[in-house]
Amino acid sequence: MDFFEHQDRARRNTGMLVFYFGLAVVIVVLSVYAAFLGIAVYASKGTKHPLEFFAWHPQFFFGVTIVVTGLIGLGSLYKIWSLGSDGENVALSLGGVKIPANSHNLDERILLNVVEEMALASGTPVPPVYLMENETGINAFAAGTTPQNAVIGITRGAIDTLKREELQGVIAHEFSHILNGDMRLNLRLMGLLNGILVIALIGYGIMRILGEVGFRSSRNSDSDGDGDKESLGIVAILVLIGCSLVAIGYIGVFFANLIKAAVSRQREFLADASAVQFTRNPNGIGDALKRIGGWAQHSKLKAAHAAEASHMFFGEGVVSYLFATHPALPDRIRRIDPKFDGTFQETGYITHSESELIDPRSLSLARSSFAGSSTAASSTATSSTAVSSLSSVQETASVHQAAVAGADQHEQQPQQAVSHIGEPRPEHISHAHHLVEELDPILADDVRDPLGAVAIIYAMLLGPSEESVRTQQLEFLSGASDALVLAELKRVSVRVDALAIEQRLPTACLALPALSQLSPSQANTFRNNVRKLIEADRRWTMFEFAIQRFITKRLVRRITDNRLSDSSAPTSLVESVRIVLSSLAHLGSVPSMVESAFAVGIREIPSIGRGMKILPRNECTLKSLDRALDVLEQSRNSQKRRMLSAFSACIAADGKVDVSELELLRVISDALGCPMPPVIESSHV
């Protein structure tokens, strides 16, 4: 099953969820109608026109239906709105605290390093990481609606007990949820459950108010009589209403939890399998699950909102025997390690070392021993030989060589890049690991600091040192930035100029967590300065487009929810495809082959591109491409697959592909919500 099929499956699960949620709502409405009708029959006894329970009362029924469905709908919409469009609100509600990108804590640095490698390998933005400091259980989660606004959360217990390769297995599991489209479904589950729970909460509210009123009246009452009897009758009716609402609310929750558990269990098996496929190291996630079984706190959480988010966690977050959202630990482990006998060894705290910041295990060795023994002896042997082999792997397959080889192969097999969307492999992790490892040490430190990250992005956008545009850009920054940024820019600019083309975009991605620490006003100033630097020479490059896209769509939107809109944006899918294909043809082809490259792309999407003509170069602007991608982002998955195939073929049409073109293709793929791993040679994939 590929990325697009995973996404379609997630949408089908959402449809099934909505259907069963509707069924639960019908049951709740009928139950409320029956309960309130019974209470009304009881209250009408002794009156001139007593009600009959088995009689049909259409006005009463429709009134109950409108009120109940309205309450459930408002409760669901409020919860979904309060969670927002990204995962940060979920992380905060669970007690998470964002780990600074420049953290000096060794355990946190190791975790951030693992997350960075996974993000670069999968082609997703590097997500912020939240630590649940007060949670001693071993657990983690991914939350958000898209890869662009996802966050990773992890407990202190997981950091204190899991080795690096076990952390890697857990994080790979969470990234599979990001890539498989599970996160949006998770948020909808939380919203729908809250809507049904509103009925029970109203019942609890009535009972609590009655308790307070009854206590006060018992202290203040000094007489009895008909008035008191009438009051007692009213109180009795209200008690019946409150108890009925509590009971009915939990009938709905019963069905909702049943749906949640059924959907979640299968997705956990899939995420485990994806993590093994991603890392080619079953011991990583398998041993992490075994450590949960041997840990006194297992994976349990104490957070107040843990129950409503239980389906989002790596392990079972709350005790639930009837509605467990995760398969049993032994079942999950046996799918990874069939020889597991069900015995859990006691888990203890571990001490991390500096060596874990650089993966000492060669993924190529782990891949070759994928079906091999998992005994302690073989694991020790693998680890001891991995360190010595890592340097030789780097010598024979550097980041630059892999990137150039990937560009060469793309000329012959342009569809291979599309086939890897959302399906990263161990070699992509290895490639990402080498990207981080080969980065200049000073840049590697600065890119994780907000001030340094701003300066590095500015330095990336400066023109060549011999051109006058660079002088103009520096003059602009001297008036638009403070002295600290300018000093940092001066310190890093030479090192940034020395970056290879394949290092520039990943370095910008590494800067995103640090940039997310900017305040909203700082982020908007930064965005405006980036735009001015790009426009300084009155033209734009592929890399400049990528940078401004990251800043606008990932950073500014995440921090300020500032969704840029423009009334002149293209409204049709066809026109948007035309803009993107025309831009790619003009940017990536020699002048004599521009129209033929455009035609090659059109052949991949005949249903959309029939009769389409290429746009002149002067109409392929930065803004028009941005707007077009916003439109294409809303298209169906089947359309996205064909469009990306067309874009990929267009780039390769002239028989000469360079790394910058492939990086632009990855940016476009990301803009469509389809994360594309680094494009490297097939021998590495």
Average per-residue pLDDT for the chain: 80
Question: Closest Cα to residue 138, out of 329, 374, 361?
Answer: 329
38 burial via Cβ count (<10 Å: 0-12, 13-18, 19+): middle
Banded model confidence at residue 220, pLDDT cuts 50, 70, 90: low
Taking the C-alpha atoms of residue 81 and residue 240, their distance in angstroms, rounded to an integer, is: 33
Helix (H) or strand (E) holding 129: strand 129-132
Segment 146-184, tens digit of pLDDT: 888 889 999 999 999 999 999 999 999 999 888 877 787
pLDDT at site 15: 66
Instruction: Catalogue the long-range contacts made by 32-41 (C-beta closer than 8 Å, 24 or more residues apart).
Output: 32/64, 32/68, 32/199, 32/244, 32/245, 32/248, 33/60, 33/61, 33/64, 33/65, 35/241, 35/244, 35/245, 35/248, 36/60, 36/64, 36/241, 36/244, 39/237, 39/240, 39/241, 39/244
Told to judge if 467 belongs to the known catalytic residues of this protein, a careful annotator would answer no
Beta bridge partners of 152: 129, 142
Across 485-505, average pLDDT: 89
pLDDT at site 159: 95
Segment 378-389, tens digit of pLDDT: 333 333 333 333
Question: Closest Cα to residue 676, out of 685, 684, 664, 666?
Answer: 666
Q: How many CB atoms lie within 10 A of CB 328?
A: 12
Q: Residue 226 pLDDT more than 60?
A: no
Who wins on pLDDT, 370 or 5?
A: 5
Beta bridge partners of 319: none
pLDDT at site 232: 66
pLDDT at site 376: 37
Banded model confidence at residue 64, pLDDT cuts 50, 70, 90: confident
Q: Which amino acid is at 203?
A: G
Segment 240-273, tens digit of pLDDT: 887 888 888 777 777 767 777 777 777 888 888 8
Identify the residue whose tokens are 């009689």.
55
Percent of the chain whose predicted confidence (pLDDT) is above 70: 82
Who wins on pLDDT, 368 or 629?
A: 629
Q: Residue 49 pLDDT more than 60?
A: yes
Across 638-650, average pLDDT: 90
Taking the C-alpha atoms of residue 459 and residue 474, their distance in angstroms, rounded to an integer, is: 10
Q: Which amino acid is at 130?
A: Y
The gap from C-alpha 512 to its chain's centroid, in whole angstroms, comes to 14
Taking the C-alpha atoms of residue 514 and residue 496, their distance in angstroms, rounded to an integer, is: 17
Q: Residue 399 pLDDT more than 50?
A: yes
In the set 135, 174, 488, 681, the catalytic residue is 174
| Selection from 213-217, 306-310, 369-373, 628-632 with the highest mean pLDDT | 628-632
| Selection from 199-208, 410-419, 475-484 with the highest mean pLDDT | 475-484
| Selection from 1-5, 163-167, 376-380, 663-667 with the highest mean pLDDT | 163-167
Does pTM surpass 0.85?
A: no
Segment 314-368, tens digit of pLDDT: 998 877 656 677 888 999 999 899 999 889 999 999 998 888 876 444 333 333 4
> Which three-class secondary structure state does DSSP give residue 152?
strand
pLDDT at site 87: 82
The gap from C-alpha 461 to its chain's centroid, in whole angstroms, comes to 28
List the end-to-end C-alpha distance of the chain, in Å, as a whole number. Answer: 17
Across 109-136, average pLDDT: 91
Who wins on pLDDT, 8 or 66?
A: 66
**Lowest-pLDDT range, 114-123, 185-194, 271-280?**
185-194
